[in-house]
Structure 1
Amino acid sequence: MSPLLPPLDAHHPRSMADQVYDMLYERIINLTLPPGTKLSEAEVAAQLGVSRQPVRDAFYRLSQLGFIQIRPQRATTVAPISKDAIVRAYFIRSALEEATMRVAATNLKPVHLTALQDILVRQEDALRMADKTGFHALDDQFHHDICNYSGLGFGWAVIKENKGHMDRARYLSLSFGAPRALAEHHDILDALRAGDGDGAAAAVKRHLNHIDEIIDWLQTTQPEVF
C-alpha cells in the first residue's frame, strides 16, 4: 500500500481502532489514499504498529460509510467518489448549517466572533502558502466552532458523520476554489457579526451550493475518481 502510514501512539486517549479509523479517514478525504488504492489489513497493521483487529474494525466502519469496498476473495480498495453520496451529504449539511446560522446570529458573543476572525486570518496564511491540508482543516474548524459556540455541537456531529463524501470533492477543488471559499467565510462572519441570521443562512447556502459545479469540473478533469 502506498504511501506509508506512521506508527500510532499506544498512549493516545482514543482507542487503537479509533486512531486507525481517524488516520485512514483523513487520508481518504485528502486523497492521499485516492480511489482505487488497495488496502491490506496486514500491511496497514504492520505500518501502524497495531494488531489486525483494530484495523479490521476501522475497515468495517469505513465500509459502512461508503469510503472503502470490502469484497470477499478480492482486494479491499478505497471506493470511488459517489455523486449520489455527495448529493445526500450536501442536503444534510446545508439544512443543518442554515438552521445553525440563524441560532448563531443571536447566540455568538464578541469573544466567539474574535476567535472566528482569527481562524480566517490563519486561513489567509494557509492560502498564501498553498497549504491545502491546513486550509481544509481550518475550514472545518470554522464551521465546527460556529456550531459549538451556538450550543449546537450535536448538529456538527451529524454533519461530520455525513460530510466526508462532499469533502473529497471539495478538497480536490481547492486548487481553484480556496480563494472563493475564504471570501464566503468572511461573508458568513460579517452576517453573524451584524446579528443577521437570515443573511448568515443565505451566505452559508451560497458557500455550500457550489457542489454541482465542483462535480461537473471533476467529471471533466478527473473522471477516474468517480
Structure 2
Amino acid sequence: MKAATAIHVPELTPDQFREIQRIGFLLEGEAAEVAAQKITPQQLKSLEDIQKQLVEAARGNPTRAARLNRRFHCNLMAVADMPLVHATVENMWALKGPILRIYQLEALGKAAMEQHAHYDVLDGLRNGDGGKAREAIQRDIAGCNDMIAWIKERQKETEEA
C-alpha cells in the first residue's frame, strides 16, 4: 500500500471564517481583560518580546510572522488562566490556520506594524487596564475583515476556473 503523498485542507467559507472571528472576538476579548489583572512582569516581558519579533518577521518572513502572531494570542490567553477559553480559541486558530497562512503569504506585508493593535494590548496589560486590553485585542481580530473579502475573491476565482 502506498502512503498518501498529499494533504487536502478544506478552505473556510466567508461565513465560517466570520463565525470563527466572532468567537475569537468575544473569547479573546474576555481573556485579555482578565489577563490585565493577572499578568506578571515576566509574562509582560515575554509578550513584548514576541511582539518585537513579530514586527521584525513581518518585514520579510510572513510564515514566521504568522507563527509569532498566534503565539502572542495564545500566550495572552495563558496569562488569563482560563483553560476552557484557551482550548476553544486554540481550536478556532487550528480551523483558520491554513487559510491564514495562504492569506499572509499572498496578501499581507501591507500592514503598518508600528501601529499594530498588540501595542495597545501591551499598554493595557502594563497598566492593569482590562478594558483597554479587551478593546485592543478585539480591534486586532476585527481587522480581519479584509481577509473575509479576500476569501470571497478566492472563492469566486475558484468557481470561475
Shorter-chain-normalised TM-score: which range?
A: 0.7 to 0.9
Structure 2 counterparts to residues 100-139 of structure 1, below 5 A: 100-128=31-59, 130-139=60-69
Any unmatched runs of 5+ in structure 1? 1-40, 49-67, 69-76
Q: Is the 8 A contact 2:44 2:126 kept in 1?
A: yes
Greater Rg over alpha carbons, structure: 1
**Which structure's residues are more often helix, by fraction?**
2
Q: Is the 8 A contact 1:127 1:135 kept in 2?
A: yes
Q: Is 1:209 matched with 2:142?
A: yes
Q: Is 1:196 matched with 2:135?
A: no
Any unmatched runs of 5+ in structure 2? none
Once residues 207 and 181 of structure 1 are traced to their aligned partners in structure 2, the CA distance between those partners, rounded to angstroms, is: 13
Task: Normalising by structure 2, report the TM-score.
Answer: 0.81
Q: Is the 8 A contact 1:188 1:203 kept in 2?
A: yes
Note the C-alpha offset of 1:161: 1.2
In the other structure, the counterpart of 2:97 is: 167
Map Cα deviations across residues 105-132 of structure 1 (whole Å, 9 max, x no partner). 110011111111110111122123x111
Aligned equivalent of 2:3, options 30, 43, 48: 43
Map Cα deviations across residues 6-30 of structure 1 (whole Å, 9 max, x no partner). xxxxxxxxxxxxxxxxxxxxxxxxx
Aligned pairs, number: 156
Task: Normalising by structure 1, report the TM-score.
Answer: 0.60
In the other structure, the counterpart of 1:155 is: 85
Note the C-alpha offset of 1:176: 3.6
- The amino acid of 1:113's aligned partner reads L
Once residues 32 and 3 of structure 2 are traced to their aligned partners in structure 1, the CA distance between those partners, rounded to angstroms, is: 44
195-204 or 143-152: bigger deviation: 143-152
Percent sequence identity is: 24
Q: Aligned to 1:80, what secondary structure does the other structure show?
A: coil
Once residues 99 and 134 of structure 2 are traced to their aligned partners in structure 1, the CA distance between those partners, rounded to angstroms, is: 22
- The amino acid of 1:195's aligned partner reads G
Once residues 107 and 147 of structure 1 are traced to their aligned partners in structure 2, the CA distance between those partners, rounded to angstroms, is: 11
Q: Is the 8 A contact 1:169 1:214 kept in 2?
A: no
